[in-house]
Structure 1
Amino acid sequence: MLGTPYTIFIYVNLPCRGSNNHFTELNECLDHVLEIYKNTHQLIIGGDLNENIYSLTNSQRKTAICNFMTEHKLSTVEIGITFVHPSGQAISAIDYILYQDQYKEHIFKIEEQELQSNVSDHTPLLLSLKCDISYKRSKEHTNTKNCKVNWTR
C-alpha cells in the first residue's frame, strides 16, 4: 500500500437483536465508525456485525449494514459460517472484514482460521494484505552533558 494514506484497522462488535433499541444502537455505531478517519486513512473494518449480510432474507439491520457499505464503498468476501451458538443449535455468518473498494488490489485474501485452541464461539478471520512497511529512524538522543564524579566528597 505504498503511497496510500495511513491504514487504520477498526474492530467493531455491533449490537445484537436482543436489546429493545438494537436498531438505533446499530445505526449510531455505523455513523461513528467512519466519522473520524474516513478522509485521512485507508479503513479496514473487522469484527462481529451480528447480521448475515449474505442471507437471502432481508431485515432492517441487513439493509442498514449493506447501505452503509454501499455509501462508503466498502466490500468484503463471503467466508461462510463464523459463529456457532454455545448450545450448538444455531450457526451463522456474522463476522466480516470490510475494506474500501479503492484498495481492493491490496487484499490478497480473507479467510477463516481453524484453530485447535479456539475457545470462542466465533471463528477467527485472517486478512492477508499487501503492504510496504517502512519506518523513519529517529535521531538517537545522546547525552552531551559531561558528568564527572566528585571524588572529594
Structure 2
Amino acid sequence: MKVFTAKDKLPVKNKDKTFCFLAGSIDFKESTSWRDLVVSGSSKNTIFFDPTREDHDVLDNQEMVGHIQWELEALELADIVILNFLPEAKSPISLVELGLYMKSNKLIVVCPKVFYQYRYVSSICEKYNTPIYHNLQEVLRYV
C-alpha cells in the first residue's frame, strides 16, 4: 500500500490496485487520525490519496488552487471515496464532496447520528442508495 498526499504527484491508474480517496473531516488534535486507521487496516493492493495538509490555513492563493486541483484529480482517479464526517466538525468541503460524488457509485459515507447535518446526509444517501455507516469501525470491516 502507498499513501499519496497533496504534495505528491498523482500516480498513473493501475488496474491491479484499488485507489481510495480519504475524504472528510480533519481533526489535528487526535494523535492517530481516522485516515491512519483506514490505511493501516487495508490490503496491500490499495493506494490511498490523503488530502490532509497541516499548513492548509497558511497556503497562499496559488498554493490553495494547486491543492484544490490535486484533490479534484485524485477524487476522479479514485475507485472508492471514503467520506467520514466527524461528530463535532462542520466539514463544509466534505458536504460539497458528498454532493459531487453522490451519483458516482464509489462513495462510502461515515456519518454519526450526532453530526449536525446527519438528516441531510442520510436522506441523500438513502435517495441514491449510497452506503452510510455510523462509525468508522463498520467501514473498516466493509473495506
> Higher relative contact order by CA 8 Å / sep ≥ 6: 1 or 2?
2
- Give 1 or 2: higher helix fraction: 2
TM-score, normalised to structure 2, is 0.33
Larger CA Rg, structure 1 vs 2: 1
- Give 1 or 2: higher strand fraction: 1
TM-score, normalised to structure 1, is 0.32
